[in-house]
Amino acid sequence: MAEDDDPQAPAESLFEAPPMGEQERMVEAILFASADPVPVSDLAARMPHGSDPAEALAHLRKRYEGRGVQVVRVGDAWAIRTAPDLGFLMHKEVVEERKLSRAAIETLAIIAYHQPVTRAEIEEIRGVSVSRGTVDLLIEQGWIRFGRRKMTPGRPVTFVVTPEFLDQFGLESARDLPGLKELRAAGLLDNRPPPGGPGDEDDDGEDGDQSELFEE
């Protein structure tokens, strides 16, 4: 450079500055390892005499253009940062699998068999109140959603199962869910006839209810 030949050049230039490629490496290493953004003056102080950190920075900045990280200016200082479009990589999702609680699976079963069904109806069938958390969990999981309001006093909301639910449980439609008779045949229920005999009103009524519900 012309400056080097200048008889007025400062005494420091007695020591030859490293080649620009080396200077660029130095800036790269310093920016990488520093805990804070580094001002140009700091770079100059740390690099060998006669170095030109500003020029090295310009080269380095260019080199990182379009890369996964970039050389960016932070106030008066410089730092290396993740390219903005790759921010999503700095996000790690940990998936944890848990078994559905008994309350949740029962609630889900009732909704599947009786949809559209109100909270009051679920509680009546289960015999216990349904916690808000249980319903929220099932909604969050994507297995149930709100159906249309019932045309009864108070116009309560109803719950129905979602396509995700069908997908999860390998069903074409909620109608494919086996009825009580089939459950019994599958050995899931005791084979003993209910106390009221075969014509038991309740049992029949249930099956009837169910099919009615599905036949909308």
Q: Determine contact, residues 161/142, Cβ cutoff 8 Å.
A: no
**Cα separation of 105 and 90, whole Å?**
35
User: What mask of x and - would describe binding to another protein in positions 56 to 75, judged by CB under 8 A?
Assistant: --------------------
Per rule CB under 8 A, is residue 92 in the interface with a second copy?
Answer: yes
Binding segment toward another protein, per CB under 8 A, in 17-25, 29-37, 58-66, 147-155: 29-37
Q: How far is CA 21 from the centre of its chain?
A: 43
Q: Is 174 in the site for another protein (CB under 8 A)?
A: no
User: CB under 8 Å to 80, separation ≥6 — which residues?
Assistant: 31, 32, 64, 69, 70, 71, 72
Rg of the chain over CA atoms, in angstroms? 36
The number of C-alpha atoms within 13 Å of 40 and in the hemisphere containing its C-beta is 12
Q: Is 4 helix (H, G, I), strand (E, B) or coil?
A: helix
Q: Which stretch binds a second copy (CB under 8 A): 29-37, 152-160, 168-176, 190-198?
A: 29-37
Task: Draw the binding track, 139-168, toward a second copy (x: CB under 8 A; -: no contact).
Answer: ------------------------------
47 near a second copy, rule: CB under 8 A: yes
Q: Of 13-21, 55-63, 147-155, 161-169, which part binds another protein (CB under 8 A)? A: 161-169
Q: Is 68 in the site for a second copy (CB under 8 A)?
A: yes
Give the largest Cα separation in the chain, rounded. Answer: 117
Residue closer to another protein by CB (options 7, 198) is 198
